[in-house]
A and B are shown apart, each in its own frame.
Chain A
Amino acid sequence: MNYLDGAFSALADPTRRAILARLAKGEATVNELAEPFEMTQPAISQHLKVLEDAGLIIRRVEGTKRPRRLARAGIEAMDQWLAMLRKALEKNYDRLDEVLAAMEKPKKGEKR
């Protein structure tokens, strides 16, 4: 449960989710990750540390660079988030089914 807690709170931040989304496309350096967010390197590094501690990303050493990539747990966490979006949408449309059913009733009554 501790691991799951860590993953969930790591994902509670939109910047960290966006970092994961970026890493889903491939390995990236801190500079590359910082660029689209208009954040300082230390701020990004702090987010990366949270993601690393939660086991969602992995750091590699390449000369002076420390490129990050998604860990398997990170991929699974992203999938989980996507499943949640899907669930929210499905919930909407299940409710819409009921709204449509209520709209249909008076109409059918008129015709019959």
Chain B
Amino acid sequence: MSKMTLKTEGDTHVIVTRRFAAPPEAVYRAHTDPKLIQQWLLGPDGWTMPVCINDAKPGGKFRYEWTNAKGHGFHVTGEYLELEPYNKLVHIERMYLPDPTPDNRVETRFVADGNGTLMTMRMTLPDAQARAAMLATGMERGMEASYVRLEKMI
């Protein structure tokens, strides 16, 4: 299994890398086909994505809605700026909690790496404060899992 890396860069970037045992075309499709996205972009166990709209073309919009068994939910909307099949995706997204978070510009590259793909996702937030809030917000979905873990410990 290939390891994911997650690091911050400068004041406003977050960089995520991950290797996949599939060609760039497949990884790209898994990022743009709603039926495929719904199967993996779910965060911690227990969350599902009942609504997944993804119009993968320049200027196209997407909307993801997540929910869990307790009835908690939130959604993300975004727009595509640039699509370069099967190498590169650039989009803007924001999370509604329920107020929208600052726009996050996400550039995702898929580069052939042997028989697989090296994916590099570069997020750019408007400022350091927004990045800190984004990192803190993303963690919110980990809460549920952490509480479960905590309960098991006690």
Chain A: CB-nearest residue to B154? A1
B146 touches A (CB below 8 Å) = yes
A87 touches B (CB below 8 Å) = yes
Contacts of A18 in B (CB 8 A): 129, 132-133, 136
Contacts of A21 in B (CB 8 A): 132-133, 135-136
Contact indicator A81/B136 (Cβ below 8 Å): yes
Contact indicator A96/B30 (Cβ below 8 Å): yes
Chain A residues touching B, majority SS: helix
Question: Range of interface residues on chain A?
Answer: 35 or more
**Which single member of A85, A86, A104 contacts B22 (CB below 8 Å)?**
A104
Contacts of B133 in A (CB 8 A): 14, 17-18, 21
Contacts of B26 in A (CB 8 A): 100, 103-104
**Which single member of B21, B97, B153 contacts A100 (CB below 8 Å)?**
B21
Contacts of B41 in A (CB 8 A): 92
Chain B residues touching A, majority SS: helix
A76 touches B (CB below 8 Å) = no
Interface string of B28-63 (1 = CB under 8 A from A): 011000001001111111000000000000000000
Chain A: CB-nearest residue to B47? A88
Contact indicator A8/B146 (Cβ below 8 Å): yes
Q: By CB atoms of chain A within 10 A, which of B22, B40, B45, B139 has the most?
A: B139
Chain B: residues with CB nearer than 8 A to chain A?
A: 1, 4, 6, 16, 18, 20-22, 26-27, 29-30, 36, 39-45, 97, 128-129, 132-133, 135-143, 145-147, 150, 153-154
Chain A: residues with CB nearer than 8 A to chain B?
A: 1, 4-5, 8, 12, 14, 17-18, 20-22, 24-25, 36, 81-82, 84-101, 103-104
